[in-house]
Every structure is written in C-alpha cells, then in structure tokens.
A and B are shown apart, each in its own frame.
Chain A
Amino acid sequence: MDQFTLNLLVVGASFALYIGIAIWARAGSTSEFYAAGQGVNPVVNGMATAADWMSAASFISMAGLIAFVGYSNSTFLMGWTGGYVLMAMLLAPYLRKFGKYTVPEFVGDRYYSTSARVVAVICLLVISVTYVIGQMTGAGVAFSRFLEVTSTQGLLIASAVVFVYAVLGGMKGITYTQVAQYIVLIVAYTIPAVFISLQLTGNPIPGLGLFSTMPSTGEPLLVTLNGLLTDLGFSEYTTGSNPWLMALFTLSLMIGTAGLPHVIIRFFTVPKVADARWSAGWALVFIALLYLTAPAVGAMARLNITTTMWPNGVENDAVAIDELPDWFQTWSVTGLLKVEDKNGDGRIQYYNEGGPGMAELAAERGWAGNELVTFNRDILVLANPEIAQLPGWVVALIAAGGLAAALSTAAGLLLAISSAISHDLVKSVFNPDISEKGELLVARISMAFAIALATWLGINPPGFAAQVVALAFGLAAATLFPTLMMGIFSKRMNAPGATWGMVAGLVVTCAYLFAYLGVFFVPGTNMLPNNADNWLFGIPPTHFGPIGAAINFAVAYAVSSVTAAPPKHIQDLVESVRIPRGAGAALAK
C-alpha cells in the first residue's frame, strides 16, 4: 500500500471516530451544550484540556522553535505550562464554584454590570477569533501536506468535520472528541521520538535521552551538539540571551495562558470544586507528556540534521548532494526543504560563515552563500518518522496527530466564541426571555456562524497571521486575567474599576502592538520601527502582556478607590465563590 492510501486510511478512521463520538455525545440542553452537563470526570477533563490547549503550533512547530534557538526558547516550555499553576490556584476552583457557563457571565455577575460583561465579550472575541485563524490555517496546511489537496480544500474538510461534532454536541461532544484527539496526537508524537532517542542514546525515554551519553561519541548528547554547532560557527545550544527579556516573555506567556477563555471554560465542566483543582493537575500531566518530549525531539533532530550535512565531521568533506538520505529527497518535493549548489562543487555548504573562525573554512570550500536555501522548521516533527526509518503507518499517524491537534484547539475556541454570542449577548443583552430550547438553537446557530467566520478568515487570513499569537496572549494577560483575579481576591473591586481596568489593558496593549507592528498589523502603518532602539524601556511588543496586566491592575485599583464599594449582595457573592461548599447544589438546580 502506498503512503498516500495509508494516510487517507488513518486520517479517515480518526475522523470517523470523532463523528461517531459526536453522535453518541449529542447535547440535549444548554447545560450540556455549554458545560457538558458539569459531569465530566476530572481526569477526562484533564485530557480534554490538554488537547484543547495543544494546538497545531505545539504539535508541529514547537520542537523546531526550540531546536534552532536552543536554551533561550525554553521560555515557550515554561510559559505554556507555568500558566496552569496560576489557573489552578487563582482562577479555576473559584470560577467552578460560581457554577455558570461563560467567562463574561462571571464578569457581568461579579461586577453587577452589563457594560463590564460586554467589554469582557469584546476581549474574548478578539482573543479567540485571532487565535482560531491560526488553527484553521494549520489544519489546512496539515491536510495539504499529507492528503494531496490544496490547503483551501483541506481547510473546508476540516471545517466540515468540526461543524458536525461542535454543532451537534457542543461542549459535551467537544469534550469527548478532544479525549480521542489527545490520544491520537500523543501516540503520534511519542513513537518517533522514542525511536530517535533509542538510536542516539540507547534510552527509550526522550526526556532522559536528552541528558544521556551518546554511545557513538562517548560524550553527553548536549556536549556533542554544542561541539558540532560551535565547529560550524553557530552559537552553543545551551547558551542563552538576555535573561531579563527571557523572564519577561515567560511571564507574558504564563499570565496569557491563565487568561485564555477557551481553556478556563473547560474547568466549568467538572462536578465539584475539588475536581477543578485535581483536573488542572491532570491537564498538566497530559500536557507535560508532550512538553517534556518536545525539547528532546528538537535537540536530537538538530543533531541528526547537522550530522547529515557533515557525516564525517567538519574537518572532512560535507555530504555530497546525490548522497543525501531518502527523507531529504521526499521532503524536497513539498518545498519545505530546498538545496541549491551555488558554488557547483556537488556538496552542501551549510555553516555560519560569519561565525568565529569560519572565514578560513569558507575560503577553502568556496563559499557562494548558504546552500540549504529553504529549511522549514516544521520538518523536524513532520519528517521524524522517516529520519528514524519507521514504517509508513507512523508517518500516517503524524498526519492524523497534526490534524487532531489543530481540530481540538479550533473546536474549543469555537465553543468559547459561540457561547459568548448566544449566552452573553443574545440571552443576556438582547432577549433575556428566550426559552431554554430557543437558547440551545441560538447556541447551535452561533456555532455554525463562528465556524463559517473562522473558515473564511482561514482562507483569507489577514496579513497579521504571524502576529496572532503575540496578540492573543498579550490581550488575555492584559484584560481577562487581572479582571477575573480581582473579582475573586478583592471584595472591594467594583464595576467602574474593573471595567476601566479592562478597557485600559485592552487599549494600551493594542496601542503598543500597533505602534510597532502596524495598525491592525497592516504592514507599513506602524508609527515606529520595530527594533530595540525604539522599544519603550527596551520591551519588545511580544513581551508586553505583563505590562498591560500591571496597567489593568493599577487603573482598576485607582478607579475603584474613588468610587463606591460594591453592594452587600456582591460582597456575599465573593464570599461564596471562595468557599467550595454548595457547588454540588448549583449542579442540582
């Protein structure tokens, strides 16, 4: 059977599974549609949260992100996991006790204000819509690579599948498909990693292999890698850049993670407050299975690729172009990889010619420019099974895994978007008298609308697709996280304080991003060049989240201290979300 048929079979089987689950887990009420009936086991919810959280970027791109920068990009590993500590201790249990369906609903009730709720809806929509564009394009790309369709066709197939299970099942259907998607993606990610780790270090656990000794060189893997890279004029793998900027970026990702609405709402689905606490731990267990493997995959792939270029060390000749391994040829066809013999010597010139002591080598070998002209970092994960010489069904699994990662995150985001529209806008602002059945219908229509919007944006991505992650994390950090936290930890925080705090966080963060990256990220409309000389206090726009959050906190405290304290019943509400007792009663209603 050829690879294409195999891919088609494995991906097709995984889709059939998702749709089967959706038919089994149909939502019959708004409680099921928004919060899966608040009856999800905490371990199951942890697994669903892990799939919800780990996007196409985590699955396909993160290992490459770390591999080509090394230590400095550990910020992604810590940032995207450390946020769960904040969520587990500062938000999830209390929001579960509150016991309703959406993030803006908590903001609206806690701050007894429809305008606060509407501002929260705006923040949520900006965050989630920008985030979902990346998922839809990611799904389209994954399809086009493995199933020989264009990325637009791929995107339409992905939308159709999400449409079936999200419209039918709401949160309930999404939860159980996410569990299946988690299993597909973690198996697909782990198998090639285990074999590569075995081949290089003899240790089957990639995370341990990363710190093990390589039998072939007799040195630890990281020492071998550092040696190879410095020989080629690159900087050491384990050496870092400005530590203060690393710390600030990590903080930005952590606060942003804790403030992402599509993750927060997953904790509304468990039965009890105690379950919400455990569930955050389980979510991180399932996330860590991938996040502890990713840096090993990155380092090992970088090592494999470097030794492919220089099979006999830097003292000897580089690899001849017609002797490149098969996977190199296979992936050249996709355009993710391209070699060009600029100096016509039949070998690949690939080193940092400007690095220390490299001028000599460059002169000797006849440098005419880097000859590995294209090297897409996603290759590290996509080509892993071929690099490890694994059978075709593992390649097919990677295809299914990449799609599972993209679809599960897209579905979670779409639910956050549609519930904000149907529950926070239609039900609370426009038509409070709507019946339970009517609201369920509106929720389904909103979901269909959200999918159509996300599909359209995925096919016609605005110019800023690359900046999307920075925007989503920065805004989540600057708007929702401080507002939710103050709603729980400060009894004195009132409606004007919270509302103005959110508005200030939103406006200042957008202004800072737009000033350097262009108004709505349209190239050429930026007011200042995006470089270190122009950044305020040297803070890059991507690192701005914590500053936005600090502004939110400061404005909120200043405004609330000069306005009236919240009424008695709101202070009682704060008291009640702090105490677990009674969460079960809310379920029984």
Chain B
Amino acid sequence: MAENNNAYWSANIRLVTICLVIWALCSYGFAILLRPMLSGIAVGGTDLGFWFAQQGSILVFLALIFFYAWRMNKLDKEFGVDEQ
C-alpha cells in the first residue's frame, strides 16, 4: 500500500515538473526573456513573443491545467487511489 502510494506521488511530481517547465518556458521564456530569439517569427504585425505575452501564455496555461486534470484523474484510477 505504502509503496503504491509512493509510486503514485512520484508520478504526480514528474507530471507537475513537466507542466511547470512548459509553464515557465512560455511565460518567462518566450514572452519575456527569450523574446529576442523569436523576433524573426511574425504574428499579426508584431512578433511571436508579443503574442505569447498577451495571449499565448494564457492559452498554454489553460491547456496545461486541463491536461494535468485529465492525466491525474487517469493516474488516480491506475494506482487505485481515486474517489469512489
């Protein structure tokens, strides 16, 4: 039981880590610090970094939260720790 719960928790930590890396990359990365690197990609009269800062990050955040919820609900069942 304890072993199963630990494996479940490690899987959760892995998933959270992946999601937060993407979260940071899109907002702090593409929208701010890495914006000069993306300045060659034009989007609607400006560059990709500006789009990430005003819209893209928010859309990525949304996708991340729903992906996390879907994936965790599946993990809950796989490890048999879901709510009945």
Contacts and interface: CB of A to CB of B under 8 A. Distances in A.
Interface in B38-75: 43-47, 50-51, 53-55, 57-59, 61-62, 64-66, 68-69, 72-73
Nearest to B71: A277
Interface string A68-83: 0001001001100110
B64 to A, nearest CB: 6
A280 interface: yes
A130 B31 CA distance: 31
A222 B23 CA distance: 26
B62 A284 contact: yes
The binding surface of chain B is classed by DSSP as: helix
Nearest to B34: A243
A212 interface: yes
Contact of B19 (A89, A222, A285): A89
A392 interface: no
A78 B57 contact: yes
Contacts, number: 141
Interface string A263-289: 000000000111001101100110010
Nearest to A93: B72
B50 A238 contact: yes
Contacts of B61: 81-82, 84-85, 284
A278 B65 CA distance: 8
Interface size class of B (residues with CB under 8 A): 35 or more
A207 interface: yes
B62 A243 contact: no
Contacts of B45: 211, 213, 219-224, 226
Nearest to A274: B73
Given A278-B69, A281-B69, A584-B84, 9 more contacts: A88-B69, A211-B43, A211-B46, A222-B44, A238-B47, A277-B69, A281-B65, A575-B5, A579-B8
Interface of A: 71, 74, 77-78, 81-82, 84-85, 88-90, 93, 207, 210-213, 219-224, 226, 238, 240, 243-244, 246-247, 250-251, 254, 272-274, 277-278, 280-281, 284-285, 288, 291-292, 295, 575, 578-584
25 contacts: A74-B31, A74-B50, A77-B53, A77-B58, A85-B19, A88-B68, A89-B16, A89-B20, A207-B55, A210-B55, A211-B46, A221-B44, A221-B45, A222-B45, A223-B45, A226-B45, A274-B76, A277-B72, A284-B62, A284-B65, A285-B62, A580-B82, A581-B80, A581-B81, A581-B83
